[in-house]
Amino acid sequence: MKLTRSLKYHVPSILFAIFFLFPFYWLLESTTKDNTQLLQGTFTPGIPNHFIHDNLIGIFAFKNGVFANWLFNSFMYAVSGSLIGTFLAALAGFAFRRYQFFGRKFLFVLILGFAMVPGFATALPLFVMFKNLGMIDSYWAVIIPSLVNVFGVYLMVVYWNQIPEEMFDAAMIDGAGDFRIFWRIGLPSIVPGFTTLVLLSFVAIWNNYFLPLVMLSSSDKFPLILGITTVTSLQGFPVYNLSVMGAFLTSVPLLILFSFMQRFLSPQLTGAIK
């Protein structure tokens, strides 16, 4: 189809773009303000500019620079959780795709069913379990639950379904073992889907607030999203300019990651569903 530059299509697109971009713009210009300027509610950056002084320095100086810990923790949780979790989901999806086995349909439904129980309800049992394992308030308490990505398993089944049966049959005829088929033939074929899932998981883990809230009590283990909510005045009341700066700094790594990885966002996200 011929791509058009016609105005009647661009106008709604631009309007949507303004709608989607506006809060980012507001966030960015708000990081330049101190509390008084924030309360004035303007569209333009603050003059004098408080971005570095007060705001950036304030956040990094908070409690002897624990912010750096938070940043590191978020990366650590998100990278390990997304990579390993996606790998586990790929393994599971492969099993559903490739094999006929006892309990196949039942298991598929069961997994989705269990995942529907809201996290608040299972928080206490989860807490007790990790406490018994001696892992409460440790990095493991956050990483282990991040490894379970039920939606990821579902997506993986979709991606695996896109690989024609013939490819597997050919490999089998060549005498390859099952894991080799998975590792050498299968995975490389679903790289776009795999990368997509890693990216989506990364975002989800990076933004996960509730799980670390329940599991962690040492602030040096907090991820960014949890840490910035503890940046308060001494009586526990929010300090708005630091909140805004914290929100900004929590979003920026994701935005950078997104823009960079955008070409991997596979158009075949749900390709098999026709």
Partner 1 sequence: MRKTSTLKAYAFLAPFLVFFALVFVYPVLFGGYLSLFGQRGARMWWVGLGNYATVLTDPQFWGGFGLPAFLLFVQVPLMLLLGIIIALLYERIKHSRVYRLIFYLPYAMPGIVAGLLWAYIFSKSMSPFVPLMHAFGVKNPNFITYPSLPWILLIIILWEWTGYTSLILYSTLLSIPKEYAEQAQLDGATHTQVAYYIKVPLLKNTVLVLFIFNAIGALQVFNEPWILGQLITLSPNYTPAIYIYNEAFSYGAFTHAIAMGLVLAAVIFVISFFFLRRSTKELNIHA
Partner 2 sequence: MMAIRNYSRFVLVAAALILASMPLFANGNKESGAAASSTGAAMQATGPGGYPAYTGSKADLTMWAWTSNENYSIDAFQKQYPDITVKWSNIGGGTAEYTKVLTATSAGKGLPDVIMSEYTFAPQFMEFGTFQPINKWVSQSLYEKYFPAVTLKWTSMDGKIYGTPQDSGAMTMVYRKDIFDKYGLTVPKTWAEFQADATKLHAADPGITMTTFAKNWILWPMGVVWQAGGKMFDYANGKWYVDFTNPTAKKVINYWGDQIKAKTVAADMWWTPDWYKELNDGKSATVISGGWFPEWLQLNAKGSSGLWRVATMPQWDASNPHNGEMGGSGFYVSSQSQNPEAAALFVLWLNSAKESLTYLHDKSQLPILWAKNFTDSLAPTLMQTEYPYFGGQKITEPSVQSLKEVDTAFTALPVMDFVQSSMQTEMQKAIDGTESWDQFLQNWQDSVVSFMKKQGFNNLVVGSLPN
Give the range of 80-88, 147-155, 200-208, 236-244 binding partner 2 by CB under 8 A. Answer: 236-244
Give the range of 18-26, 110-118, 181-189, 233-241 binding partner 2 by CB under 8 A. Answer: 233-241
Q: Report in angstroms how near the CB of residue 61 gets to partner 1 at its nearest.
A: 21
Helix axes 240-261, 191-206, angle to 10 degrees: 180
Please state, as a whole number, how many other Cβ atoms lie within 10 Å of the Cβ of residue 41.
Answer: 7
User: Among 101, 116, 237, 274, which residue interacts with partner 2 (rule: CB under 8 A)?
Assistant: 237
- Taking CA atoms, 177 is separated from 171, 174, 188, 189, 239, in Å, by 9, 9, 16, 17, 59
* Residue 245 engages partner 2 in binding (rule: CB under 8 A): no
Q: CA–CA separation, 160 vs 180, rounded Å?
A: 16
Q: Report in angstroms how near the CB of residue 266 gets to partner 2 at its nearest.
A: 39
User: Among 21, 57, 68, 124, which residue interacts with partner 2 (rule: CB under 8 A)?
Assistant: 124
User: Among 12, 103, 118, 236, which residue interacts with partner 2 (rule: CB under 8 A)?
Assistant: 236
The item of partner 2, partner 1, none sharing an interface with residue 51, based on CB under 5 to 8 Å by kind, is: none
Give the range of 31-39, 74-82, 157-165, 194-202 binding partner 2 by CB under 8 A. Answer: 31-39
Q: CA–CA separation, 211 vs 205, rounded Å?
A: 10
Q: Report in angstroms how near the CB of residue 23 gets to partner 2 at its nearest.
A: 16
Around 91, how many Cα atoms within 13 Å sit in the side-chain half-sphere? Answer: 11
Q: Identify the helix (H) or strand (E) that includes residue 154.
A: helix 150-161
Cis preceding linkage at 48, omega within 30 = yes
Minimum CB distance to partner 1 smaller for 60 or for 127: 127
